[in-house]
Amino acid sequence: MTVESLVFFFLAAFAVTTAVLMVVQRSPLVSAIYLIANFFALAALYLLLRAQLLAVLQIVVYTGAIMVLVVFVIMLLNLEEEGRVRTRIAIRTWITVVLAAGFLSEIVYVFFVAGTPAEGTTISAGAESLGTVESMGEALFGKFLLPFEITSLLLLTAILGAVVLAKRKG
């Protein structure tokens, strides 16, 4: 066991635990906190994969912007916990479990037993310089220029619409 694999297994266990806890928690606010913890674990995993810029963005965008907004709305609406009684949901829960288990086993079979689809078996040698601000910037303003510009329109639309929907009448 190298240090790197120890770190990986710790982060993986942490990510799965927080994800499961987020789904089973009845209080929305506690769920949100677990999701934030999960995002930190993912950011660390991105670092293991040598994606420096995205690791930082993960914290800045997801934790700093999206989750703060979510927590803010939860507190603004002062939401109660979901009730315990859920008779009608039982069937849906079972369907979910069956579907999820089926999907999970299928994909794990593909990745583990039958071998991975991607060619490389180790992180490629150039990965270190791949996730830097410099190379990402070159890609975004070179090959991906058009999607980048369209994304700005997407954000404009979102701002415009969010203001229209959320503002009070009059």
Partner 1 sequence: MEIPLSYYLCLSVVLFVVGVAGVLTRRNAIVVFMCIELMLNSVNLTLIAFSSFLGSITGQALVFFAMAVAAAEAAVGLAIVIAIYRNKRTVDIDKINILKW
Partner 2 sequence: MSDHLLNDLSLFAPETAITLTLVAAILADLIFRRTPLVVAALVLAGFVVTGLLLLGQTGVNASIFTGMIAVDSFAVFFKTIVVLAGILVVVFSMESGELNSPGRKLGEYYALLCAAALGMMLMAGASNLLMMYIAIELSSLSSYLLSGYTREAPDSSEASLKYLIYGAVSSGLMLYGISLMYGLSGSLDLRAINRALPQVLSGGGAASFTLLIAGVLALAGFGYKISAVPFHFWTPDVYEGAPITITAFLSVASKAGGFAMMIRFFKVTFIDAGAVALPAGTWATLQGFHWVDLVAILAVLSMTIGNLVAVWQNNLKRLLAYSSIAHAGYMLTGVVVLSNQGLAAIMVYFGVYLFMNLGAFYCVMLIADKTGSEDIDEYKGIGGRSPFLAVALAVFLVSLTGLPPTAGFIGKLYLFAALINSGWTWLAIVAALNSVIALYYYVRVFRNMFLRTEEPSSPGITLSWLQNAALVVLLVPTLLLGLYFTPLVQLAQASVRLFGTP
Q: Which residues bind partner 2 (CB under 8 A)?
A: 106-107, 110, 114-119, 142-147, 150-151, 153-154, 156-158, 160-162, 164-165, 169-170
- For partner 2, which is the closer residue by CB, 1 or 91? 91
Find the largest Cα–Cα distance for the chain.
Answer: 64
91 binds partner 1 (CB under 8 A): no
List CB contacts of 127: < 8 A, sequence separation 6 or more.
49, 50
114 binds, among partner 2, partner 1, none (CB under 5 to 8 A by kind): partner 2
Q: How far is the CB of 1 from partner 2 (least distance, A)?
A: 27
Residues 1-30 that bind partner 1 (CB under 8 A): 1-2, 4-5, 8, 12, 15-16, 19-20, 22-23, 28
CA 116/CA 109 separation, integer angstroms: 10
Q: Is 39 exposed, middle or buried (0-12, 13-18, 19+ CB in 10 A)?
A: buried
